[in-house]
Chains A and B, each alone.
Chain A
């Protein structure tokens, strides 16, 4: 008894230390930095200012932000279109096979995503595998330009982030009470109506979770925009990286990063609210 409470305290303590050293402290440092002033020689000078946040309203950054949202939205939508049927199919398969298939989704994660992005370059290049295939099949006569386009960036984002869509979808589809589907069938609902009226609403939390897990990282993956987008199909992550590296405006980079975090927190809050309202509706019914 005593031992287990000791263990509990110990593990919670470790967790707290971990979170405060590696999450709270760095974030506090970024928040503080975002209110300071740029200095050419010392990076930061200790002069308080709100200017960094005001400058975020520059049309330039608004343009980059809307472009990021646009790219991330398309990537998220494609992930959903591919991910939902995929997760649905897995959940219909015999219980024995499912873990193996889920395991296979995770396997590519063992390779660093940067290396996989270089792999995409090989695939999409003008003299790459995809063009060679299409040329050999006589589907095209001239190699297609795919590298350094928006298409390449979205392709890479979908490829890298798809598992983040599939896994929450799978877990929410799997949880559906089969008796509800049977009840719908007994009451004469067609397969499509059952899906629309029963399964889709019940998996909504999974859909939103998956969308958030894809959308949020997609906005920040600067190396994908750099490598396959030719460093010109900018994401908001590229702008933040440029502030820190090239312009050496750490305070402004911090302000941009904090704003992005707040934006994401807002989306998560929305998710929480939706989840709660669905739960309430379930209880009332």
Chain B
């Protein structure tokens, strides 16, 4: 009997200990491939704050989850610019206290205070990047690729990779036709749809999970790719590279944001501040191959990384491209057309 009691006490103690070992827990919901392994456990060692990390592959799935989780949801998410403005409008985010962020000053001012979130009250830039044309130079002459229209060449029938993202796919057609990639104009979108219909027979695969993989696996030689994915693919196969098309690439920025119903807001600020540290931001950039918005971190990065034009395009290339912003109600027009495009080859 006594032994039984002791056993119960031991179990109770173990339970208590395990729950008190980590006083606070943060649920961090981030894009796949966005955090180097081991980084978050260093944060936990340092602060005693446990981070439960999970990943998504599209803004849409993150948004849908946040909409449906009332409580016990996520404490930190990383939406793209146009989702920041959408979620802000729908009162899904809470203000970030800049006074708690000692490392905020490290950020590049040219990437702050943008239209989607003036004063960065709701979002802290984490990573930015670009979508361009992916090329395997083992099979294709790099000089022959200059424009989004190259993807329309009938010789690519059933061979291209496109990112699985309505906005990025419409970006190509809209840019070719000389329109803004953020258009809400129905006729412009209808024209873009007509052009994209001609592209569909060339598509082999839509992939927004890890577009690098089909290039590395030799399944595709040509199509769309992200600059970070290109960098990753190059570690495996140096023939894979990316071209910034002359009509303008897609640019995006993914920012840290705190959902309205987040708990442990103090702990979340600590994590944001940790991620803004120059050495941490540099490690993230180097691991995943995307440009960092952190100026202090940029100074810590190796020279060949900074000078890699794929990762850090020059100012002219950036000015030529376009960042995506929220298109409001027009978003459903993009998505409905996209649905039709996908069913076209059936």
Do A and B form a real pair? yes
On A, residues with C-beta under 8 Å from B are: 40-41, 43, 60, 63-64, 67, 125-128, 143, 145, 147-148, 230-234, 239, 242, 244-249
Minimum CB distance partner of B338 in chain A: A246
- B89, B166, B214, B342: the one contacting A234 at CB < 8 Å is B342
Minimum CB distance partner of A67 in chain B: B346
Contact check, B219 vs A148: say whether CB atoms are below 8 A apart: yes
Contact check, A232 vs B206: say whether CB atoms are below 8 A apart: yes
Contact check, B340 vs A60: say whether CB atoms are below 8 A apart: yes
Contact check, A231 vs B336: say whether CB atoms are below 8 A apart: no
Contact check, B204 vs A230: say whether CB atoms are below 8 A apart: yes
Q: Indicate whether B164 reaches chain A with its CB closer than 8 angstroms.
A: yes
CA distance A246 to B340 in the complex (A): 13
CA distance A43 to B70 in the complex (A): 14
Minimum CB distance partner of B67 in chain A: A43
Chain A residues within an 8 Å CB radius of B219: 125-126, 145, 147-148
Nearest-neighbour CB distance to chain A for B219, whole angstroms, equals 5
Q: Please judge, given known A-B contacts A126-B218, A231-B207, whether A247 and B335 are in contact too, CB under 8 Å.
A: yes
Q: Indicate whether B194 reaches chain A with its CB closer than 8 angstroms.
A: no
Nearest-neighbour CB distance to chain A for B55, whole angstroms, equals 15
CA distance A64 to B217 in the complex (A): 29
Chain A residues within an 8 Å CB radius of B60: 245-246, 248
On B, residues with C-beta under 8 Å from A are: 58, 60-61, 63-64, 67, 89-90, 164, 166, 203-207, 214, 217-219, 329, 331-332, 335-336, 338-340, 342-343, 345-346
Minimum CB distance partner of A242 in chain B: B339
Contact check, B217 vs A127: say whether CB atoms are below 8 A apart: yes
Contact check, A234 vs B90: say whether CB atoms are below 8 A apart: no
Contact check, A126 vs B217: say whether CB atoms are below 8 A apart: yes
12 example contacts (A-B, Cβ-Cβ < 8 A) are as follows A40-B329, A40-B331, A63-B343, A230-B204, A230-B205, A231-B207, A234-B342, A234-B343, A234-B346, A239-B339, A246-B60, A247-B336
CA distance A246 to B332 in the complex (A): 9
Chain B residues within an 8 Å CB radius of A63: 343, 346
Contact check, A64 vs B343: say whether CB atoms are below 8 A apart: yes
Contact check, B207 vs A245: say whether CB atoms are below 8 A apart: no
Contact check, B166 vs A148: say whether CB atoms are below 8 A apart: no
- B64, B204, B218, B342: the one contacting A245 at CB < 8 Å is B64
CA distance A74 to B328 in the complex (A): 42
CA distance A80 to B225 in the complex (A): 41
Nearest-neighbour CB distance to chain B for A155, whole angstroms, equals 16
CA distance A64 to B343 in the complex (A): 7
Contact check, A60 vs B58: say whether CB atoms are below 8 A apart: no
Q: Please judge, given known A-B contacts A64-B346, A231-B205, A242-B339, whether A248 and B64 are in contact too, CB under 8 Å.
A: yes
CA distance A192 to B164 in the complex (A): 52
CA distance A230 to B336 in the complex (A): 19
Minimum CB distance partner of B90 in chain A: A41
Nearest-neighbour CB distance to chain A for B77, whole angstroms, equals 16
CA distance A128 to B214 in the complex (A): 12
CA distance A126 to B159 in the complex (A): 13
Chain B residues within an 8 Å CB radius of A244: 64
Contact check, B332 vs A40: say whether CB atoms are below 8 A apart: yes
Minimum CB distance partner of B203 in chain A: A232
Per CB-CB distance, the 9 closest pairs between chain A and chain B, nearest first, are: A230-B205, A231-B206, A67-B346, A148-B205, A126-B218, A247-B335, A41-B90, A245-B60, A246-B60
